[in-house]
């Protein structure tokens, strides 16, 4: 008995050096190796030879060949620039332009870098927008300790750049004048920082050597015909193509000029399409002449309408890189009451030259100026025209003031008002003397 058991064990020990099909061997409870058949068919010479048991090879974790650059987000940042963009990411003021509080919607950084890795890498960058008081500007959705984050793909090689969206507010500017510092972080490491200044107010209106714009009136066209006259009420359902009419004085004779328009919605979004120049709604080549004249531009919009929402939009006119005029226009919902008015007869807005208060300067020789207004009131009136001035013209949406020469020897000042539907605009007049 002992010899037989020893034999089986020895045989099995010898057999252990031979590969078996999976399931041929199993380990008994007491550690004794025993055999069991796979099936009841006896093995014959025609049976196929046993297949070797596959070996399990443990894979070593793949090492990142660029791991030494991981803490730096696989890049070396070489520079940063800032643009002003709207909610949709459209550029309003291009990278490197001066930024102004009233114009700035979203501060949008762009980084320039050298990619250090051998292939593209997906990383998350964190940004701190730091105010002058060293406080990090944050929103309720900001990551802890940061202003915002961006998931980006870092490409290898030199001369790379990343545009990173913007930080700001949709409905208006959220920036105060002053110096801001923007820091870039990754995995607790600060990769780069740069400061940017936000100037007070809006981009200045510059006097052009070619022409001076004195006012703009708006109408609407559809199918090549005016469906809202210039100066008429711009009803939301009726405005198709917003059509400007520009009053100007030419200074350089008869010539062609290239004008650029910016049209903003009440929410501050720049109206533009795939053919728009960067930062503008459209480019217009127009012919201007000397002396006082008017220039009618093609409309911008859609035959279906719906481009211009209710509220106060903004219109800017640019020439040779300078803003030469800006004003506002109002789109309203239709209601009952007097023609062109609100149901209650009360005005919800009134502006003259796009402002709720303004100052007009005359030289010693006096002169004439036409002022344009916007209101949703049915009627409006002028009040308190200075004695040395005269109201010489009035249309549905404009009035003309003529100022007499000043021979008194001293400068003089006075004011008047425009009133409509319970609102009023004060206009201060100043005139130097001979």
- Can you list the pairs that 390-395 forms with residues at least 24 positions away whose Cβ atoms lie under 8 Å? 392/368, 395/231
Q: SS3 of 4, please?
A: helix
CB atoms within 10 A of CB 334: 10
- Tell me how many degrees the CA angle 355-361-362 measures, rounded to the nearest 5: 140
In 3D space, the residue among 140, 154, 11, 10 whose CA is nearest the CA of residue 74 turns out to be: 154
pLDDT on residue 48: 56
Ramachandran sector of residue 70 (left: φ over 0; alpha: ψ -120 to 50; beta: rest): alpha
In 3D space, the residue among 335, 319, 150 whose CA is nearest the CA of residue 246 turns out to be: 319
- The predicted-structure confidence for 336-346, as pLDDT tens digits, reads as follows 434 444 555 67
In angstroms, the CA 43 to CA 46 distance is 8
DSSP 71: G
DSSP 173: -
This prediction has a pTM of 0.64
- The predicted-structure confidence for 160-203, as pLDDT tens digits, reads as follows 999 998 999 876 678 999 999 999 999 999 999 999 999 998 99
Q: SS3 of 362, please?
A: strand
What are the pLDDT tens digits along the chain (434 aa)?
A: 444 443 333 333 333 333 333 333 333 333 334 444 445 444 444 555 666 666 666 666 677 888 999 999 999 999 999 999 998 899 999 999 999 998 999 999 999 999 999 999 999 999 999 999 999 999 888 999 999 999 999 999 999 999 998 999 876 678 999 999 999 999 999 999 999 999 998 999 998 999 999 889 999 999 889 999 998 889 998 999 999 999 999 998 889 999 999 999 988 899 999 999 999 999 999 999 888 889 999 999 999 988 998 888 999 999 999 999 999 898 988 764 344 445 556 788 888 887 889 999 888 888 888 888 888 787 888 999 999 999 988 877 788 899 999 999 999 999 999 998 889 999 999 999 88
Q: SS3 of 205, please?
A: strand
């Amino acid at each position: 008995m002992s010899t037989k058991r020893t034999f089986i064990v020895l045989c099995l020990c010898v057999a252990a050096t031979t590969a078996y099909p999976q399931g041929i061997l199993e380990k008994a409870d007491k550690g004794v190796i025993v055999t069991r058949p796979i099936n009841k068919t006896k093995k014959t010479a025609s049976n196929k030879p046993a297949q070797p048991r596959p070996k399990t090879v443990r894979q070593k974790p793949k090492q990142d060949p660029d791991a030494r650059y991981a803490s730096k987000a696989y890049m070396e940042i070489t520079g940063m620039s800032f643009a002003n963009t709207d909610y949709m990411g459209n550029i309003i003021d291009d990278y490197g332009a001066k930024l102004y509080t009233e114009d700035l919607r979203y501060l949008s950084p762009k980084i320039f870098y050298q990619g250090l890795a051998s292939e593209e890498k997906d990383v998350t960058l964190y940004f701190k927008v730091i105010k002058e008081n060293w406080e990090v500007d944050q929103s309720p959705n900001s990551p802890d300790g940061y202003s915002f984050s961006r998931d980006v793909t870092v490409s290898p090689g030199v001369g790379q750049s990343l545009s990173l969206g913007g930080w700001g507010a949709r409905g208006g500017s959220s920036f105060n004048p002053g110096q801001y510092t923007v820091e870039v972080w990754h995995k607790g490491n600060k990769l780069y920082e740069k400061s940017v200044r936000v100037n007070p107010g809006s981009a200045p209106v510059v006097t052009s050597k070619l022409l001076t714009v004195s006012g703009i009136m708006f109408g609407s066209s559809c199918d090549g015909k005016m469906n809202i006259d210039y100066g008429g009420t711009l009803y939301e359902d009726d405005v198709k193509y917003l059509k400007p009419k520009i009053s100007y004085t030419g200074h350089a004779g008869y010539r062609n000029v290239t004008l650029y328009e910016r049209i903003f919605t009440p929410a501050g979004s720049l109206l533009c399409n795939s053919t728009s120049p960067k930062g503008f709604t459209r480019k217009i080549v127009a012919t201007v002449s000397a002396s006082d004249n008017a220039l009618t531009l093609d409309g911008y919009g859609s035959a279906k309408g719906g481009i211009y929402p209710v509220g106060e939009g903004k219109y800017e006119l640019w020439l040779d890189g300078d803003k030469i005029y800006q004003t506002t226009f109002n789109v309203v919902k239709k209601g009952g009451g007097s023609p062109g008015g609100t149901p209650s007869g009360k005005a919800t807005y009134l502006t003259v030259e796009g402002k709720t208060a303004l100052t007009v300067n005359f030289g010693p020789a006096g002169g004439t100026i036409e002022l344009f207004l916007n209101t949703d009131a049915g009627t409006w009136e002028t009040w308190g025209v200075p004695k040395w001035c005269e109201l010489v013209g009035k249309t549905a949406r404009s009035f003309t003031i003529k100022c007499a020469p000043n021979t008194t020897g001293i400068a003089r000042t006075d004011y008047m008002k425009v009133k409509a539907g319970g609102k009023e605009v004060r206009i201060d007049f100043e005139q130097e003397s001979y």
